[in-house]
Chain A
């Protein structure tokens, strides 16, 4: 049996994401990569914490002046929900229901774009109302770098999921592409994990002062 073989419901295994050796390697390699990403984001968080509210003069906006609960809350809800929808997609993948999987992935993508749009609005707002920019202070540099790195991950995740959806739209699920979908969804969850820390450490702790 080859990975690219045409699949039927009867032949579909219980964990299609780990059937071939390639799939097992991909699965493990991607988890290890996430271990490295953990350190990457930790370094960015560490830098942010060290430079939080470090500004050149008293007229610069600080964290407690900038962040507002409603926007951060909305962004959080959207991204958390997109995590659930991608779980739904993987649920249908395991049941060999390609159409439904695509549908839930589509919803995930839409939520992802919603999140990005809000983030862009947020940055725009800080720049134009507070003069809080990437270059205005060390605080600004650290803030935009941390949150922007996360945003870039979201954007990359979207491009990745869309590519997978389009590429496989006509040919359905196989043991060749199931691991690809699975790994992309892991990535999406990881992005969510990072966001949990961003909303807690940057936004909530920022508002506390």
Chain B
């Protein structure tokens, strides 16, 4: 079953990826799918900005605008940002802890395919009668009133992809707890691993409330229940709570891994160990914990009363403390270091002030009384794009440049990378800085157009110009990727030259079993320690032996596909006679393949010692 080091045809490669359980290939799948949805969401953003470039515009209709807006937000959060981060987690985290594999390779694959089919399902709404149009928050009264099947696409699509995310989270948690290499104690784990850990724990606890909320709304829309129907005793605030009990931790699920990526990049290019490692870990955990206590800051204007508002306001502001600790630690890491300004480092340096601005407006919004002014204006739009784009998207772009050589064995072009950076950085601030003021000048969020003569023309026009800069940046990035892939100049283990952690101790890309011999970890930044002692690589912790690997499987794809089919049935059940049978067939496919999986033993296979020795002679090209 060893399928490495062979040139394969196109069909075989596709089949390989459809059935893979290798975390590094799943990472590539996440990157491709997430990248695709990022482009889709980006196009939607461009349509929004074009519509809002001038007053009284009729580029799109009001109804269409609502759909584009909703799909932009939903796609960016669930189908672009999170999967792209999952891609890096899959690619890098197991290497950082010195593991040969993840804890649940099969479930890892299943998680990806569920996300993928959920995302495809959601986006098919464009072609099947209209997309969801109640905003990415889909507040119950509005979404119950929405006609057509748009909202149903949202509910079913997110339910499927959410299940995948949950599985991915559990897999990461168990991998980190159980599969660390000898000597890799918790307090020696790189920060990207730590942030993956905490973000996964947040996923574990934040996604169930979303699951429940979506079920309730789905029951109301498709099965006649009355959770949010006030006339029958229901209460629409319940949705808001459930959504935000999920929704606030969700922003930390996004931003903590982003912090993790920067915490890797900054020490490498400052050539200095991360300042205040243990306080960084502490701050990460604390942010994760507090993240669950603050959700009602999204609901200050609902009328929860002064006591509840006060509690949630104070809790929210408290999060600024651990976040501040992090900012200072990054600055002190750079302080006195011998800094190398590579593309990833550009993003890291730009990230600090950009994200800080988002944080500052966050504290402003946390003042419940003041929020009555800011709420539902462009001030909020500016705030969350400063944290999401200035934090998460910068980290994704930085991570792409930083980890590309590790994942694909070839280096992205630095010049083009820096062009992308400058275009994106300028475009970002041009687009969103002015939106703070648009909001303060009274422009409401989620409106499809505005009138002349209200002082909003210039601001909106500037904002749109900025968006075109970011689009151009993305185009340059794509060109860069194409050129790099065509040239395909191979690099060695440690292409940046200053790698500190275990992933830089093995070939790029790593062989499918990652580590021929598990490394012995002697401290934080294990590779750096060995380098400082004049060694070239890690000392092995075990003799060369057989390696156990899992078998590839097509079942994850089939299980997810079954749910995809079932979702159509559930949605069209009331409209067409074929709805119910399709629902049943879909569920049969899913449960049937789960059943198959559980009765068919799968013991994996072994790579024998002799094969590993052979590999050495050939110089390990996976």
Contacts and interface: CB of A to CB of B under 8 A. Distances in A.
A39 interface: yes
A29 B104 contact: yes
A104 B213 CA distance: 38
Given A33-B170, A50-B235, A167-B598, A135 B225 contact: yes
Interface stretch (A40-48, A81-89, A115-123): A40-48
Nearest to B174: A29
Q: Which of B212, B220, B223 is most buried by chain A, counting CB atoms within 10 A of its CB? A: B212
B603 interface: yes
Interface string B161-196: 000001000110110011100000000000000000
A141 B225 contact: yes
B497 interface: no
B238 A137 contact: no
6 contacts: A4-B603, A25-B104, A28-B174, A55-B233, A134-B223, A163-B599
Contact of A167 (B171, B223, B225, B599): B599
A25 B170 CA distance: 10
A138 B212 contact: no
Given A3-B603, A4-B603, A44 B212 contact: yes
Contacts, number: 113
Given A50-B235, A50-B238, 18 more contacts: A24-B178, A25-B178, A29-B174, A32-B173, A32-B174, A33-B170, A36-B166, A36-B170, A40-B208, A43-B245, A47-B242, A51-B233, A51-B235, A138-B227, A138-B229, A141-B225, A145-B216, A164-B598
Nearest to A171: B601
Given A56-B233, A137-B232, A43 B209 contact: yes
B25 to A, nearest CB: 20
Nearest to B229: A138
Nearest to B225: A141
A179 to B, nearest CB: 13
Interface of B: 103-104, 107, 166, 170-171, 173-174, 177-179, 204-205, 207-209, 211-213, 215-216, 219-220, 223-227, 229, 231-235, 238, 242, 245, 595, 598-599, 601, 603
A54 B226 CA distance: 10
Per DSSP, chain B at the interface is: helix
Contacts of A35: 204-205
Contacts of B229: 138
Contacts of B603: 2-4, 176
Contacts of A181: none
A173 interface: no
By Cβ-Cβ distance, the 9 closest A-B pairs, closest first, are A54-B233, A138-B233, A141-B225, A40-B208, A138-B234, A43-B212, A25-B103, A135-B224, A39-B208
A138 B235 contact: yes
A138 B601 CA distance: 46
Interface in A24-82: 24-25, 28-29, 32-33, 35-37, 39-40, 43-44, 47, 50-51, 54-56
Nearest to A139: B233
A164 B595 CA distance: 10
A55 to B, nearest CB: 5
A198 B546 CA distance: 50
A147 interface: no
A21 interface: yes
A32 B201 CA distance: 9
A90 interface: no
